[in-house]
């Protein structure tokens, strides 16, 4: 099985840090720790354990080594999961591991420089340690998981369901060690110079959508964390086996697994931005599925869940300014991740190959995903400090720079210095929203990336 896992992840391991720009921000933060010995969180609220550990991996080997580190953490997480399902007597424990390993959302994120599976590994390990009555170590591990993503600290509450009743000392040891470890992890975050700005920026842009749109996005992304076919399969299983749920309530795994699922869904409701936020519930969802279903039902549901790696039955047309409802067969989650990574690499290649006059600045709407591991550019430290953002200079060119964006004051300032300003055409709508002015009104020139 290990060989199959390696082969299945190989294309993702060697194609950059990930399709998500946050993975590149993690790499940028980690690389700063490695090169300069200073720490700046990649984004709010900070992900210190993951960012500090990846300083070593990114520093010595770039994206391949950091992706490999995530893959190894994923492999190691299978051990506590196997122990958990064996402890609770979940049927077909080895099949549970196989299905979990090839769940599309797990497959995709097991070879990327992101914290999702690092945090899940901590939750699973802490669960196994609690079942083994090793409460101090379980608390420390859960605290470290919260150090990768602060919301994981909320899993203290489901653990109250499996901690031995009447043992207040063990309860105190677990809770205090988890909370104390998490707080210690975040000391470098709150001491970092940029944390205040990150916090202000986060709360200035969050929860701005209408309630109904937020609800629609929540359910869409929740369903498409497993795919429409997978969701319908799980729903059908729940209905067909509704008579068994009453018996399952007495099973020791039921209350804890259900609580982990409900908690994950509630946390996702607070910020339904990424489907990956639902990863912590996936192994516990599988535990309930395998406790409830017959062998035949489990085969069908597993096939439907796993098919989402390759094909998705989507109900929303995304590649339009105003998304419309339209049923279509599109790339599944894993294939899409790989194709988007390749497209990003091609985008970088095309961008730097376009003939742009010297003394120009190009707004690209992307940060480290453009500049990291790109031999065609180098960091422009002085300009970056002036504009308060990462900037890159084209090698072997005179004063050709690439920046995330320019606000109106910066735009006028660069023009006074003699620069011609361009924008990448594929980022126009986003950039205009971000900078607060229209490029046509300010006569910013268009740069066609894909030759449309």
Buried (b) or exposed (e) across 124-138, using 16+ Cβ within 10 A? bbbbbbbbeebbebb
Question: Does the pLDDT of residue 90 top 60, yes or no?
Answer: yes
Which of 249, 282, 314 is at the close of a domain? 314
Asked whether the beta carbons of 132 and 169 are under 8 A apart, the reply is: no
Q: For residue 324, is it within any domain?
A: no
Question: Does the pLDDT of residue 322 top 70, yes or no?
Answer: no
pTM of the model: 0.94
Buried (b) or exposed (e) across 196-208, using 16+ Cβ within 10 A? eebeeeeeeeeee
Q: If you average pLDDT over residues 188-214, what whole number do you get?
A: 85
Asked whether the beta carbons of 63 and 114 are under 8 A apart, the reply is: no
Same domain, 278 and 379: no
Q: If you average pLDDT over residues 77-99, what whole number do you get?
A: 97
Q: For the ranges 106-120, 141-155, 160-174, which has the lowest average pLDDT?
A: 160-174
Question: Does the pLDDT of residue 166 top 80, yes or no?
Answer: no
Can you name the residues that pair with 325 across neighbouring β-strands? 316
The Cα 318–Cα 315 span in angstroms is 9
Q: What is the pLDDT of residues 26-55, one digit of tens each?
A: 999 999 999 999 999 999 999 999 999 999
Question: Does the pLDDT of residue 143 top 70, yes or no?
Answer: yes
Question: Does the pLDDT of residue 397 top 90, yes or no?
Answer: no
Same domain, 301 and 424: no
In Å, how far are 130, 365, 399 from 124, measured between CA atoms?
Answer: 10, 37, 51
- Give the number of domains in the chain: 2
Same domain, 297 and 395: no
Q: Which phi and psi angles does 204 have, rounded to 5°?
A: -75, -20
Position 113 confidence tier, pLDDT thresholds 50, 70, 90: very high
C-alpha distance across the termini of the chain, in Å: 45
What tokens does 291 get?
Answer: 């406790």
Question: Does the pLDDT of residue 261 top 70, yes or no?
Answer: yes
Q: For residue 52, is it within any domain?
A: yes
**DSSP 8-state assignment for residue 387:** H
Question: Does the pLDDT of residue 364 top 80, yes or no?
Answer: yes
**DSSP 8-state assignment for residue 444:** P
Same domain, 208 and 68: yes
Q: For residue 390, is it within any domain?
A: yes
pLDDT the model gives residue 417: 93
Those residues whose C-beta lies under 8 Å from the C-beta of residue 189, and which sit 6 or more positions away, are: 41, 45, 46, 48, 195
Buried (b) or exposed (e) across 280-308, using 16+ Cβ within 10 A? bbbbbbbbbbbbbbeeebbeebbebbbbb
Asked whether the beta carbons of 121 and 74 are under 8 A apart, the reply is: yes
Q: What percent of the chain has pLDDT over 90?
A: 81
The Cα 102–Cα 60 span in angstroms is 29
Which of 294, 314, 334 is at the close of a domain? 314
Q: What angle do CA 346, 351, 356 make, to 5 degrees?
A: 160
The Cα 308–Cα 319 span in angstroms is 20
Asked whether the beta carbons of 404 and 363 are under 8 A apart, the reply is: yes
The Cα 123–Cα 177 span in angstroms is 14
Same domain, 89 and 170: yes
pLDDT the model gives residue 186: 97
pLDDT the model gives residue 294: 94
Same domain, 40 and 172: yes
Q: For residue 394, is it within any domain?
A: yes
Same domain, 388 and 278: no
Q: For residue 430, is it within any domain?
A: yes
Position 414 confidence tier, pLDDT thresholds 50, 70, 90: very high
Same domain, 306 and 170: yes
pLDDT the model gives residue 396: 80
Position 413 confidence tier, pLDDT thresholds 50, 70, 90: very high
Angle between helix axes 93-101 and 282-292 (nearest 10 degrees) is 140
Same domain, 136 and 237: yes
Same domain, 381 and 293: no
| 312 three-class SS | strand
pLDDT the model gives residue 62: 96
pLDDT the model gives residue 19: 94
Which is it for strands 360-363 and 420-424: parallel, antiparallel or unpaired?
parallel
Q: If you average pLDDT over residues 225-229, what whole number do you get?
A: 97
DSSP-assigned states of every residue in 356-388: --SSEEEE-S-SHHHHTT-TTEEE-HHHHHHHT
Same domain, 62 and 155: yes
Which of 282, 314, 346 is at the close of a domain? 314
Q: What is the pLDDT of residues 170-193, one digit of tens each?
A: 999 999 999 999 999 999 999 999
- Residue where the block lists tokens 């006074």: 416
Q: For residue 336, is it within any domain?
A: no
Cβ neighbours around 267 below 10 Å, total: 18
Position 398 confidence tier, pLDDT thresholds 50, 70, 90: confident
Question: Does the pLDDT of residue 87 top 90, yes or no?
Answer: yes
Closest CA to 312 of 333, 338, 326: 333
In Å, how far are 34, 35, 39, 42, 290 from 31, measured between CA atoms?
Answer: 5, 6, 9, 11, 42
Q: For residue 340, is it within any domain?
A: no
Q: If you average pLDDT over residues 233-245, what whole number do you get?
A: 93
The Cα 289–Cα 297 span in angstroms is 9
Position 451 confidence tier, pLDDT thresholds 50, 70, 90: low
- Domain with 109, as residue range(s), is 2-314
pLDDT the model gives residue 338: 96
Same domain, 90 and 231: yes
pLDDT the model gives residue 452: 54
pLDDT the model gives residue 60: 95
171: left (phi over 0), alpha (psi -120 to 50) or beta: alpha
Q: What is the pLDDT of residues 69-81, one digit of tens each?
A: 999 999 999 999 9
Q: For residue 331, is it within any domain?
A: no
Asked whether the beta carbons of 4 and 331 are under 8 A apart, the reply is: no
Those residues whose C-beta lies under 8 Å from the C-beta of residue 264, and which sit 6 or more positions away, are: 277, 278, 280, 281
């Amino acid at each position: 099985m290990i060989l199959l896992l390696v082969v299945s992840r190989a294309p993702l391991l060697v194609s950059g840090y990930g399709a998500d720009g946050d993975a590149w921000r993690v790499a940028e933060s980690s690389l700063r720790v490695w090169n300069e010995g200073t720490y700046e969180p990649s984004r709010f609220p900070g992900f210190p354990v993951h960012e500090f550990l990846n300083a070593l991996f990114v520093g010595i080997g770039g994206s391949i080594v950091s992706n490999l580190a995530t893959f190894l953490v994923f492999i190691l997480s299978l051990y506590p999961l196997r122990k958990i399902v064996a402890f609770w007597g979940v049927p077909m424990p080895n099949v549970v591991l196989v299905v979990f390993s090839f769940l599309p959302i797990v497959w995709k994120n097991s070879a990327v420089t992101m914290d999702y599976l690092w945090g899940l590994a901590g939750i699973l390990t802490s669960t196994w340690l609690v079942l083994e009555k090793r409460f101090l170590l379980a608390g420390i591990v859960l605290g470290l998981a919260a150090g990768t993503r602060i919301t994981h600290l909320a899993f203290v509450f489901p653990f109250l369901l499996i901690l031995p009743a009447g043992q207040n000392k063990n309860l105190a040891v677990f809770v205090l060690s988890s909370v104390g470890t998490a707080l210690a992890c975040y000391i470098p975050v709150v001491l970092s110079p940029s944390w205040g700005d990150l916090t202000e920026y986060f709360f200035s842009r969050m929860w701005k959508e209408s309630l109904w749109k937020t609800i629609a996005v929540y359910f869409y992304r929740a369903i498409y964390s497993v795919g429409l076919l997978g969701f319908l399969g799980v729903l059908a299983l729940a209905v067909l086996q509704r008579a068994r749920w009453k018996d399952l309530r007495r099973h020791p795994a039921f209350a804890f697994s259900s609580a982990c699922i409900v908690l994950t869904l509630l946390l996702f409701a607070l910020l339904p931005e990424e489907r990956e936020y639902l990863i912590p519930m996936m192994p516990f969802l599988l535990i309930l599925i395998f406790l409830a279903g017959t062998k035949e039902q489990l085969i069908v549901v597993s096939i439907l869940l796993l098919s989402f790696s390759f094909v998705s039955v989507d109900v929303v047309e995304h590649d339009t300014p105003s998304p419309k409802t339209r049923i279509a067969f599109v790339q599944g989650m894993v294939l899409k991740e790989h194709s988007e990574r390749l497209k990003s690499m091609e985008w970088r290649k095309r961008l730097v190959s376009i003939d742009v006059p010297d003394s120009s600045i190009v707004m690209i709407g992307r940060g480290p995903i453009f500049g990291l591991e790109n031999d065609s550019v180098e960091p422009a430290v002085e300009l970056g400090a002036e504009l308060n953002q990462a900037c890159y200079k084209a090698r072997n060119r005179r004063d050709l720079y690439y920046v995330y964006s320019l606000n109106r004051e910066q735009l006028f300032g660069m023009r006074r210095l003699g620069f011609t300003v361009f924008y990448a055409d594929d980022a126009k709508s986003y950039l205009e929203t971000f900078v607060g002015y229209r490029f046509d009104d300010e006569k910013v020139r268009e740069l066609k990336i894909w030759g449309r």
